[in-house]
A and B are shown apart, each in its own frame.
Chain A
């Protein structure tokens, strides 16, 4: 080479060849770019967000009861359980797998929690000795399988559940919730092992387990039985309780402040390092919009919404911080950690991931562990809302609504595409549809038909946008 002295210049000139990579876009260009991506079929969760907006307008026009404060908080509480289960299912869908057993697995956790509470901690008496020892053996098996696959968190949770059951802790709502969650994790270790190590298709494994867990629920509760849990203040308040007004505002400030800090911090650090970033105006607009929505919703929920003049119901329901927390943790895990990056990679091209040195079977097991753990948390929330656990807990609808919520939000069933927030948006759509139709005094038949059609519509949008994306010029 004759022009060796000019090497640094050559490099910087080459870098500037990356067009939009160094020259940051203006606000107008960014907006234009966004629309061109939508035209190209990269819709993201836009259809679901639009769906929420349309449904809100539609139902508030049709029913005067719909957009009342009471009903808004009611919808949040109704939808939270299935939304949380859907969040866990997103992880499974990201690998292109399916977890049909999430619903009944959540039911097992719910019935275990209720059984422990109702029998005052005497699980041995509640289950009968043979069932009790089989249950302990299954928890032990889950721990062994988790250790075998080096999933330490799963093994720890399974052993903790084993310990809680074996030493017979007294009835305590916190311990019961811990037991339910750890049992959910243990269930996931077994599902994951069967799928990733034995190599059965997840559809078959989880279909079989779906039926098995349904039987286990029946065994725990007894046919036609109901285990009330609303008599415990803590278990009842998980979903039905609300934060005090002051705490609600603190929550709003923390949530909005943290969002702004993360988004703005990242934005300015990218700008400082000379990397391409979105225009500052758009970032500020996003932060402002989130702050506005947060403040408005918090304000509305801190007004007294009791229909009876003698009581006061105000404050943000506990499920809001619960869902927000899980949303933040899940999103962080998927977007900012190595683990999340590897999940997307395995979902996109398992062979490429394997060649890059990623332990694909372990990733596969881990998503089932996550799914079952989220299912257990969802079980606590929906059982608290219902006030009791019966053999229908976590039945078919629970699962299908959860999968439906994830898909409506924009998560693909083919793997590699999806976010945790999809589950929240999709869960909102389903909660609004169910609640709105109920207020319109529609029969269960109509509600089912319309909910199914909404899911079909979402799947259609996904398929069409995928075709569009495949056909768009490269």
Chain B
């Protein structure tokens, strides 16, 4: 088992009196797809936002690439190489693919953009991910399908030599064929050596691409399991009840005694 690239231990986060995350341990390994599942309100999005630096966490240790890391803002996360692809895509419709992929980090000096270099880099990135559904990298995003947009958003995160990519429900709004494209892409990201975190409600997707499944239950990490060791049913039980047989949180009565 490889050393995790992102290793979180004992993360706590409260919003006022509401304790959202309780001593959460979470590890992301390079070259693997780690699924993060849980019911609504389990704390998935909060965990992602803590990692992305959007919410500061209350306590806990974050180690990145073997060294202690302090994530206090989105910029800290970006500097470490953590990229988040949000559910509501952060793409501008009126710009083309290249312009979107380099948005905020344009090449060239501020008085003259280096369009040619950006276009080449965008094409190489898309090609390295074997994205073949886009006709031209100069297509406006408004002319792309949902799956293609998701593809561009994910490819954008790869362009920055990021080490960990967090995908928040990347297939939620997509049809069958487009989901296929995106899942293929998720797999290829891991093959390229990135640590990929996939947040999803869709068990079929999770079982298809994930190497490891982490289940959050009411703000606690109920289980971290290898995908090949568990069945659909067990994961669903973990999500809904927090335990399944020997897996998961201890029985409440056991805790009480």
Q: Which residues of A contact B (CB under 8 A)?
A: 11, 14-15, 17-21, 269-270, 273, 275-276, 336-339, 341-342, 344-345, 347-349, 351-353, 355-358, 416-417, 469, 474
Interface pair B128/A347, CB less than 8 Å apart: no
| Complex alpha-carbon distance, A341 and B92, angstroms | 11
| Complex alpha-carbon distance, A19 and B142, angstroms | 19
The verdict on B59 contacting chain A, using a C-beta distance below 8 Å, is no
Whether A14 touches B128, Cβ cut-off 8 Å, given contacts A344-B94, A349-B93, is yes
Interface pair A344/B106, CB less than 8 Å apart: no
CB<8 Å pairs between A and B, sample of 9: A11-B128, A14-B130, A15-B124, A15-B127, A18-B137, A21-B123, A338-B111, A416-B92, A416-B93
Whether A336 touches B94, Cβ cut-off 8 Å, given contacts A19-B135, A21-B137, A356-B103, is no
The verdict on B132 contacting chain A, using a C-beta distance below 8 Å, is yes
Q: Which of B109-161 contact A (CB under 8 A)?
A: 110-113, 116, 119-120, 123-124, 126-128, 130, 132, 134-138, 142-145
Interface pair A349/B90, CB less than 8 Å apart: yes
Interface pair A18/B134, CB less than 8 Å apart: yes
Interface pair B143/A474, CB less than 8 Å apart: yes
Interface pair B144/A474, CB less than 8 Å apart: yes
Query: For residue B126, which residues in chain A have a CB less than 8 angstroms away from its CB?
Result: 18
Interface residues as binary, B96-110 with A (CB distance below 8 Å gives 1, 0 otherwise): 000110011110101
Closest to B54 in A: A355
Closest to B126 in A: A18
Query: For residue B110, which residues in chain A have a CB less than 8 angstroms away from its CB?
Result: 337-339
Closest to B104 in A: A356
| Complex alpha-carbon distance, A273 and B128, angstroms | 19
| Complex alpha-carbon distance, A273 and B114, angstroms | 12
Interface pair A276/B93, CB less than 8 Å apart: no
The verdict on B225 contacting chain A, using a C-beta distance below 8 Å, is no
Query: For residue A14, which residues in chain B have a CB less than 8 angstroms away from its CB?
Result: 127-128, 130, 132
The verdict on B95 contacting chain A, using a C-beta distance below 8 Å, is yes
A96 to chain B, nearest CB (A): 11
A461 to chain B, nearest CB (A): 18
Closest 9 pairs between A and B when the two form their complex, measured CB to CB: A356-B104, A348-B92, A348-B94, A416-B94, A14-B127, A352-B90, A349-B92, A356-B103, A357-B104
Closest to B103 in A: A356
Interface pair B127/A17, CB less than 8 Å apart: yes
Query: For residue A11, which residues in chain B have a CB less than 8 angstroms away from its CB?
Result: 124, 127-128
B102 to chain A, nearest CB (A): 8
Given contacts A18-B132, A269-B116, A352-B90, 18 further A-B contacts (CB under 8 A): A11-B124, A14-B132, A17-B132, A18-B126, A19-B136, A336-B112, A338-B108, A339-B110, A341-B106, A344-B94, A344-B99, A345-B95, A348-B92, A352-B100, A353-B103, A355-B90, A356-B90, A469-B142
Interface pair B138/A276, CB less than 8 Å apart: yes
Partner of A417, one of B94, B119, B127, B143: B94
Interface pair A21/B136, CB less than 8 Å apart: yes
Partner of A18, one of B86, B89, B99, B135: B135
Query: For residue B119, which residues in chain A have a CB less than 8 angstroms away from its CB?
Result: 275
Query: For residue B137, which residues in chain A have a CB less than 8 angstroms away from its CB?
Result: 18, 21
Partner of B136, one of A18, A348, A351, A355: A18
Among B75, B91, B100, B103, max chain A CB count under 10 A is at B103
Interface pair A273/B99, CB less than 8 Å apart: no
Closest to A469 in B: B142
B122 to chain A, nearest CB (A): 10
Query: For residue B111, which residues in chain A have a CB less than 8 angstroms away from its CB?
Result: 336-338
Query: For residue A270, which residues in chain B have a CB less than 8 angstroms away from its CB?
Result: 116
Whether A275 touches B127, Cβ cut-off 8 Å, given contacts A18-B137, A20-B136, A357-B104, is no
Query: For residue B92, which residues in chain A have a CB less than 8 angstroms away from its CB?
Result: 344-345, 348-349, 352-353, 416
Query: For residue A20, which residues in chain B have a CB less than 8 angstroms away from its CB?
Result: 135-136
| Complex alpha-carbon distance, A349 and B104, angstroms | 13
Interface pair A275/B116, CB less than 8 Å apart: yes
Interface pair A349/B132, CB less than 8 Å apart: no
A282 to chain B, nearest CB (A): 16
Interface pair B120/A273, CB less than 8 Å apart: yes
Interface pair B95/A344, CB less than 8 Å apart: yes
| Complex alpha-carbon distance, A253 and B100, angstroms | 37
Interface pair A474/B145, CB less than 8 Å apart: yes
| Complex alpha-carbon distance, A61 and B74, angstroms | 64
A160 to chain B, nearest CB (A): 22
Query: For residue B138, which residues in chain A have a CB less than 8 angstroms away from its CB?
Result: 21, 276
Closest to A12 in B: B127
Query: For residue A17, which residues in chain B have a CB less than 8 angstroms away from its CB?
Result: 127, 132
Query: For residue B136, which residues in chain A have a CB less than 8 angstroms away from its CB?
Result: 18-21, 276
A37 to chain B, nearest CB (A): 10
Query: For residue B128, which residues in chain A have a CB less than 8 angstroms away from its CB?
Result: 11, 14
Interface pair A338/B113, CB less than 8 Å apart: yes
Closest to B112 in A: A336
Among B94, B100, B111, max chain A CB count under 10 A is at B94
Query: For residue B99, which residues in chain A have a CB less than 8 angstroms away from its CB?
Result: 341, 344-345
Query: For residue B135, which residues in chain A have a CB less than 8 angstroms away from its CB?
Result: 18-21
Whether A348 touches B127, Cβ cut-off 8 Å, given contacts A338-B106, A341-B99, A356-B103, is no
Among B92, B127, B134, max chain A CB count under 10 A is at B92
Partner of B93, one of A269, A275, A348, A474: A348
Query: For residue B89, which residues in chain A have a CB less than 8 angstroms away from its CB?
Result: 352
Interface pair A353/B116, CB less than 8 Å apart: no
Whether A18 touches B127, Cβ cut-off 8 Å, given contacts A338-B106, A416-B94, is yes
